[in-house]
Amino acid sequence: MTHKVIISGGGTGGHIFPAIAIANALRRAQPEIEILFVGAAGKMEMEKVPAAGYKIIGLDIQGINRQSLLKNISLPFKMIKSLWKSRQIIHEFGAEVAVGVGGYASGPLLMMANYIGIPTLIQEQNSFAGKTNKNLGKRAKKICVAYEGMDKFFPEGNVLLTGNPIRRTSVNISGKYSEAITSFGLEEGKRTILVTGGSLGANTLNECIKGSLDKLIQANVQVIWQCGGYYFEKLERELKGTLPANIKLLPFLQRMDYAYAAADLIIARAGAGTISELCVIGKPVILVPSPNVAEDHQTKNAISLVDKKAAIMVTDMSARIHLVNEALKLIRDEAICVELSENIKKLALLDADEVIANEVLKLIN
């Protein structure tokens, strides 16, 4: 018998990449399994999921807009419409299990699956569970988490510490230093800082680097600066002719493994997926949590590493003053770099995708 699984969620790479990793692990375990994705119409999953070889259906759903209450007027109607469409999708596809990875589409799809009686599994990526997942978790058969102590948000007997699924191709950096440095046109042996704002870029990080170019040039370090497609053209225009050869401005990183392999120090946001990759990479990290996320969960993610002396945190508010100074100080302090590297490696969980896929198959059986 061919088993059928729905995976719902998305909105950012931090939700989409783990979802695809779980789907790939399910296919490795059962090559004949049928997997359907449900995302939010117009969001990046509608492009990324088909590119990974999976079918996706979009729901007309949005999150709560905290800047403009007027933009939330249509939200209840969209929610009702999405619930009915979710019911239709579940019945027509014949789903045996529904998996939620976070993001707008996860709410209505898993709510309807719970209502119908389809077993559900939640993959909670952050150290602080959001309201939607806390509510969904009351009826979920299994909640797979990336941090210890998550039973304060979910029924204890259903919580399983698995870690977050990661892009294995991105963290496979062994023996790639020389080819990575060459691919960026950089110099071997020179200290290299990777600055990455995630799949969408991060304005704060971009402003920090732009405002501190003189300091970085004087410090004789190399920088791989991934600024995001949204910001690239404007930055390229503003900095035309002023960027030295050792500072590489890029919209995206096609080979994340090369970026990680080349770096001596990494500056990043504190999204759950990013942190999971950084734990496996095991290099010194400065985290700058985004303040523009629900329940400020990136700060809580970062603090969970800082408390274990596994990362340094600079707040978004203070980053323009302190971030580059902190990075240059850290990259010169070999003892602290070694301590951070050793401690962050201890938090790595490599096979989350396999473990979660196994839990999904258990729910079918």
Averaged over 120-136, what is the pLDDT? 87
Over residues 13-69, the pLDDT tens digits come to 678 888 999 999 999 999 999 999 999 888 888 999 999 999 999 998 876 666 666
Q: Residues forming the annotated binding site?
A: 12-14, 126, 167, 199, 298
Q: Domain spans of the chain?
A: 4-165+351-364, 169-345
Question: b/e per residue, 308-341, with b = 16+ CB within 10 A?
Answer: eebbbbbebeebeebbbebbbebbeeeeebeebe
Q: Which CATH superfamily is domain 4-165+351-364 in?
A: Glycogen Phosphorylase B; (3.40.50.2000)
pLDDT-derived band of residue 147, with 50, 70 and 90 as boundaries? confident
Over residues 178-221, the pLDDT tens digits come to 999 999 999 999 999 999 987 778 899 999 999 999 999 999 99
Averaged over 66-88, what is the pLDDT? 80
Q: Determine the CATH number of domain 169-345.
A: 3.40.50.2000
Largest Cα separation within the chain, whole Å, is 65
Helix, strand, coil shares of the chain, percent, nearest 5, are 50, 15, 35
Inform me whether the pLDDT recorded for 70 exceeds 80: no
Parallel/antiparallel/unpaired status of strands 247-250 and 222-226 = parallel
Name the amino acid, one letter, at 252. Answer: F
Q: If DSSP codes are grouped into helix, strand and coil, which group holds residue 286?
A: strand
**Which 8-state DSSP code applies to residue 348?**
-
Q: If DSSP codes are grouped into helix, strand and coil, which group holds residue 196?
A: strand
Q: To the nearest whole number, what is the mean pLDDT of the chain? A: 91
The two three-digit tokens of residue 160, written as one number: 């399983």
Inform me whether the pLDDT recorded for 167 exceeds 90: no
pLDDT for 349 equals: 85
pLDDT-derived band of residue 320, with 50, 70 and 90 as boundaries? very high
Q: Residues forming the annotated binding site for UDP-N-acetyl-alpha-D-glucosamine?
A: 12-14, 126, 167, 199, 298
Cα distance between residue 55 and residue 164, in whole Å: 23
pLDDT for 218 equals: 92
Find, among 67, 54, 65, the residue nearest to 19 by Cα.
54
pLDDT for 66 equals: 61
How far, in Å, are 83, 134, 135, 228, 355 from residue 76 at the CA level?
11, 20, 17, 32, 36
pLDDT for 292 equals: 81
| Same fold? 4-165+351-364, 169-345 | yes
How far, in Å, are 41, 62, 135 from residue 81 at the CA level?
13, 12, 20
